[in-house]
Amino acid sequence: MESLESLAREGWKVRKDNFPPDIYFSYPLKTQAVSVTGDHCKLNCGHCGGHYLKNMKPLADISADDKLHAQSFLISGGCTAEGKVPIGEHITELAALKEDKRFNLHVGLVNEEDMKGIAKIADKISFDFVGDDDTIHEVFGLQRTVRDYADSYERLRKECKVIPHICIGLHGGEIRGEYNALELLYDLGADGLTFIIFTPTRETRYANRQPPAIKDVLEIIVTARKRFPQVPIHLGCMRPGGRYRRELDPWAVRAGVNSIVTPTLDAVRLAASLRLLPVKREECCAL
């Protein structure tokens, strides 16, 4: 069984052979998160339960001051019973908000009709890509399949720049469809990859579960680094904090990720010791 050290060396070699010595640290203070549904969601996903919508500002409450100070907007919201974020119902309001701002849209499952409005306003799409049918059924409560997610991803890529997001340990901390998701994305193509990590959250169905082991996370990141040698890999904002993050972030740097959202101080120091050149960003990593 490979050690964390040997895994990291594999990933680092691929990164060094294919990228300049830059690493991006994102502190997304200038990206305003907006929910088109307020704190409402038709699903009760095991890992979220609508909890994270409370940290977003309802679209109806966006003020002139928000427009002035934000450089970009993350447009998201709760899902319908069919698994889509109803962006299409708010295109007129969003178009009025956009002006010279950049939009990163989190859209969920989409059909051809949805695409008409989305393509008009999207600068980037963040798309949750799931590689296991049982996970879709149990975590999201949706009677949909991996094929549905792949089809939506393909539709989006025809019109927009899409950054697939893979949640490591989405199935209550278990590793299920993550490797299948990577293989599907290898066939479908990807301009970037963002990894987020299951985080036990109070008042959700998975509140008492554990996040995936650091080694399991690193194995998936290194597999992606080798499978997609020239594709930027991001470690996103959704990951456990505290001791877990302090251990994970430096390993992610050593394994060859290209960017980290709100990195720990140890990860920043390690990057400097590895002679990586830090580039600070103040917006969502997908942008």
Question: Which tokens is 267 given?
Answer: 């990860």
Q: How confident is the model at residue 247 (pLDDT cuts 50, 70, 90)?
A: very high
Closest CA to 154 of 192, 117, 184: 184
In a domain, 260, yes or no: yes
DSSP of 114-166: HHHHHHHH-SEEEEE----HHHIIIII-----HHHHHHHHHHHHHHS-EEEEE
- Whether 207 is covered by a domain: the verdict is yes
221 found inside a domain: yes
Q: What is the total residue count of the chain?
A: 287
- Residue 1 has a pLDDT of 64
Print the domain residue range for 8: 4-281
Q: What is the pLDDT of residue 116?
A: 85
What percent of the chain has pLDDT above 90? 94
- Mean pLDDT, rounded, for 84-96: 94
CATH number at residue 244: 3.20.20.70
Q: Report if residue 287 sits inside a domain.
A: no
Q: How is residue 149 written in tokens?
A: 């997610």
pLDDT of residue 56: 96
| DSSP codes of every residue in the chain | ---HHHHHHHHHHHHHHHS-SEEEEE--TTEEEEETTTT--S---TTTTTGGGGGSEEGGG--HHHHHH-SEEEEE----TTSB--GGGGHHHHHHHHTT-EEEEE-BS--HHHHHHHHHH-SEEEEE----HHHIIIII-----HHHHHHHHHHHHHHS-EEEEEEETTBTTB--SHHHHHHHHHHH--S-EEEEE----TTSTTTT--PPPHHHHHHHHHHHHHHSTTS-EEE-S-S--HHHHHHHHHHHHHTT-SEEES--HHHHHHHHHTT-EEEEE-S-TT-
Q: What is the pLDDT of residue 24?
A: 98
Question: According to the model, what pLDDT value does residue 2 have?
Answer: 81
Q: Is the pLDDT of residue 216 over 70?
A: yes
pLDDT tens sequence across 156-193: 999 999 999 999 999 999 999 999 999 999 999 999 99
Say how many domains are in the chain.
1
* Predicted confidence band of residue 66 (pLDDT cuts 50, 70, 90): confident
Q: Give Dmax (Cα) for the chain.
A: 56
Cβ–Cβ under 8 Å, residues 273 and 30: no
**Across 45-57, average pLDDT:** 94
What is the percentage of the chain residues whose pLDDT exceeds 70?
A: 100
State residue 67's pLDDT score.
Answer: 87
How does pLDDT run across 13-35, given as a tens digit for each residue? 999 999 999 999 999 999 999 99
pLDDT surpassing 70 at residue 50: yes
Is residue 84 within 8 Å of 115, Cβ to Cβ? no
61-70, 162-171, 187-196, 277-286: the lowest-pLDDT one: 61-70
Average pLDDT score, the chain: 96
Q: Is pLDDT of 253 > 90?
A: yes
pLDDT of residue 114: 87
pTM of the predicted structure, to 2 decimals: 0.96
The yes-or-no verdict on residue 279 having pLDDT over 90 is yes
**Residue found by looking up tokens 């993350």 in the block:** 74
The neighbouring-strand residues paired with 74 are 33, 104
pLDDT at 237 over 70: yes
Mean pLDDT of 47-56: 93
Mean pLDDT of 81-92: 94
Q: Is residue 286 part of a domain?
A: no
